[in-house]
Chains A and B, each alone.
Chain A
């Protein structure tokens, strides 16, 4: 070798196994394991029978795959006296979700549009207080809202909860729409004004069709947020219409009976499934939604 040196020409070929790469990808692998392992443990546990769980290792794959825990979690797990499983909570959550998402987005989009194109005296101040409201701890407002809902006859009903979700979704959604509409060229709005279009005409014929992407972002944000809510569900509804998260907590953390970890994990996965599917399907849009949520600060 030494006698016959080969003079390399051209760029030096890059080895994949440099120290830098091993360190970098090694660290990233460990990180990925920390984030993914809990999900793996849940899935594995939910597919095992109870005897196997008691004897075995939580990380071991199931020896005998059983879907019974999933069936039980969905249709027969008990909370108190009700033994119809999480399915009840699932449908409650769906019933809460649809009107809440619809109402909050409609209101916030109109708000955002009015704040950009139809400023009125004091509109900026209202908006500033609205944004500030996003930081007030919910606990401060919870009890007076109980009184208000009771006065309106909506305490303990689905519609009461829908109203609460609409109110507390308003700051972030309004901000989202306001920012979007303020990026629309003003000439477009002025041209429509000259053509004689009014407040609603411009909203429906010009702004709405242009804002479809931001509507999708808002929807992702709201579906995840409302589905995952626990606090409002537990306060403003009653046991038969508890949303899924509340019911899940009641099933898993109930003190009576033998703990069935496989059923618990199946129930937990079932509850997490809706936002997880939404997350993996929507990809970049989800990131955009939370980035928008982050800007609220």
Chain B
């Protein structure tokens, strides 16, 4: 074999290369090309049409001086922090409850997971109806006799983002529960037996032994939740439309509105570059831990 003349390397394995063309084109043109294109154009003064007239960081300065963008970022942080913590806590507790060798486990799992099959638009519209102050939960409680009861998150600018949060958790926590449950099932029965023999209470076993053992599951869940948070768009459109006023705006919506409604492309590019930066801040440490660490370890 070593002595035979090697054919031109470009044509070796030609079929595989042809078959992989869609992937290569996607990677080069869409993921790399389009991303670079947007980042480059975020430094220009494009308005209705993209044009290469560079203005340095002007778009970014304007972006961070716009109250709507600041509200978007604030909402993203509130929504993100709450949904991260709540999804993890609820997901883990539900998984731990389902792991108690209970009856109807499959039924319960199906019930908790089914919202995940629904789109954000459907989710948003369902909760818009339930949180409707005139006919929804608020009016039901008032009819029961508590006439001063107020629960109208979708009409109150101060708490509207929590109204969205309720819907988001309803839709997404089932997935985290399933992941956690798989993680719990992967833990050796001997660990439980050992902790039982040592007389360690169950909650302590969970907190100090099981959770640290489930670190990879938690990391996956965190990456999954955070990358979903940055993308939040449909839910807002369906449930609140960004309102009341601009109280529930999010960065993804700012980008879309700048590009397709206000014909202010430069702002859209700058805002989407900021979104990319947010994701990189999360992904790079993760990729380093996951892949860099593995390479060094083995």
Interface residues of A (CB under 8 A from B): 24-25, 27-28, 31-32, 34-36, 38-39, 41-42, 45, 53-54, 57-59, 107, 110-111, 113-115, 118-121, 123, 126-127, 129-130, 132-133, 135-145, 147-148, 166-167, 170, 174, 198-200, 224, 227-231, 235, 245-246, 248-249, 252-253, 261, 264-265, 268, 271-272, 275-276, 278-280, 283, 286-287, 290-291, 294-295, 297
Contact = CB atoms under 8 A, between A and B. Distances in A.
Contacts of A115: 20
A265 B136 CA distance: 13
Interface of B: 9, 12-13, 15-17, 19-20, 22-24, 26-27, 29-35, 37-39, 50, 94, 97-98, 100, 102, 108, 110-122, 125-130, 132, 135-137, 139-140, 143, 170, 174-175, 178-179, 182, 219-221, 223-224, 227, 230-231, 233-234, 237-238, 241, 251-252, 255-256, 259-260, 265, 268-269, 271-273, 275-276, 279, 283, 286-287
Those 10 A-B pairs whose CB atoms lie nearest each other, nearest first: A228-B119, A118-B16, A133-B31, A199-B15, A297-B223, A144-B34, A279-B117, A141-B34, A230-B234, A139-B272
Contact of A287 (B94, B113, B140, B227): B113
Given A170-B22, A230-B234, A141 B119 contact: no
Q: Which of A28, A228, A265 has the most B CB atoms < 10 Å from its CB?
A: A28
6 contacts: A53-B135, A57-B140, A143-B268, A248-B121, A291-B178, A297-B219
B27 A126 contact: yes
Nearest to A286: B117
Given A111-B22, A114-B16, A276-B114, 13 more contacts: A31-B112, A35-B170, A57-B143, A110-B20, A118-B13, A137-B272, A137-B275, A137-B279, A140-B275, A143-B265, A200-B15, A264-B129, A271-B119
B182 A264 contact: no
Nearest to B112: A35
A167 B25 CA distance: 9
A250 B273 CA distance: 29
B51 to A, nearest CB: 12
B116 A120 contact: no
B96 to A, nearest CB: 10
B230 to A, nearest CB: 5
A249 B121 contact: yes
Contacts of A229: 119
A76 B108 CA distance: 37
Contacts of A278: 117
